[in-house]
């Protein structure tokens, strides 16, 4: 794995990015696709089963795909894995598949990147049941302060949905949270991670370079690099 440096912007969750000078991107590989991890400067990968694309028919194949890619040196986490009550198969299948992916993450000592839509009780129940040693990151967070603190109190990290974090009303939430638990992302949308950093730096009343160092420190802690 190539590691980000102090002056890099870190996009903790994206799709189809490719190397971009000055940006360290963690690209999501979804098990139903045919993409494979590569060794490239400024790129790392996660590998997991998104609940949207999960079924009883393809479950075994998707698990096999995760197992094949998780050992690649550029794959730094399992995910995005999780729960979706709006778009996805029966919750029991989602739960079983999530538990299998957490087991893979624990065995390979890699964190988990989580997709969760309207299934916070289920996620928190799994956290309590599985008691993972590896950290979990909620990607695309757009919830309220109460939920944010509940998740953080259980040891999780939050990466904010790009559209939500660019809204003026997100500033109060950002300032209220422990800074050592936050990440920023584009989720593969037509947005620039640099613009997100600029807005969040203003919200947190930090210089841009200070925010870069903060996110880098969070990255190193999350991936146990230092």
Is the residue at 33 inside a domain?
A: yes
Q: 159-174 pLDDT, tens per residue?
A: 999 999 999 999 999 9
Is the residue at 159 inside a domain?
A: yes
SS3 191: coil
Is the residue at 145 inside a domain?
A: yes
Is the residue at 3 inside a domain?
A: no
Is the residue at 2 inside a domain?
A: no
- Split into its structural domains, the chain has a count of 1
Predicted pLDDT at 3? 81
* 124-134-85-167 Cα dihedral, nearest 10 degrees: 90
Is the residue at 4 inside a domain?
A: no
* pTM attached to this predicted model: 0.96
d(CA 23, CA 52): 28
Cβ–Cβ < 8 Å for 69, 52: no
Q: Give the strands of the sheet with 9-14, arranged side by side.
A: 9-14, 23-30, 43-48, 75-84, 112-117, 136-141, 157-160, 182-184
Predicted pLDDT at 35? 86
d(CA 120, CA 118): 6
Predicted pLDDT at 1? 64
Q: CATH number for the domain including 83?
A: 3.20.20.140
Range of the domain at 21: 9-222
d(CA 110, CA 105): 5
Is the residue at 152 inside a domain?
A: yes
Bridge partners (DSSP) of residue 77 are 46
Nearest Cα to Cα of residue 101 among 63, 57, 143: 63
pLDDT higher than threshold 90 for residue 34: no
Predicted pLDDT at 226? 64
């Amino acid at each position: 794995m190539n590691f980000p440096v102090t002056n890099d912007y870190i996009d903790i969750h994206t799709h189809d990015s490719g190397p971009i000078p000055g940006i360290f991107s963690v690209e999501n590989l979804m098990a139903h696709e045919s993409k494979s991890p590569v060794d490239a400067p400024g790129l790392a990968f996660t590998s997991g089963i998104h609940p949207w694309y999960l079924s009883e028919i393809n479950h075994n194949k998707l698990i096999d795909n995760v197992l094949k890619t998780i050992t690649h040196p550029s794959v730094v986490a399992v995910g995005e894995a999780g729960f979706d009550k709006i778009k996805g198969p029966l919750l029991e299948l989602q739960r079983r598949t999530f538990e299998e992916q957490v087991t893979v993450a624990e065995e390979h000592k890699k964190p988990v990147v989580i997709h969760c839509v309207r299934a916070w009780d289920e996620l928190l129940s799994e956290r309590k049941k599985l008691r993972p040693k590896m950290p979990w990151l909620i990607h695309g967070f757009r919830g309220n302060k109460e939920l944010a603190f509940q998740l953080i109190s259980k040891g999780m990290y939050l990466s904010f949905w790009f559209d939500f974090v660019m809204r003026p009303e997100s500033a109060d939430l950002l300032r209220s949270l422990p800074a050592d638990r936050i990440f920023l992302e584009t989720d593969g949308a037509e947005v620039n991670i640099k613009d997100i950093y600029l807005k969040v730096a203003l919200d947190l009343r930090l210089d841009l370079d200070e925010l870069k160092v903060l996110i880098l420190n969070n990255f190193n802690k999350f991936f146990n690099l230092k």
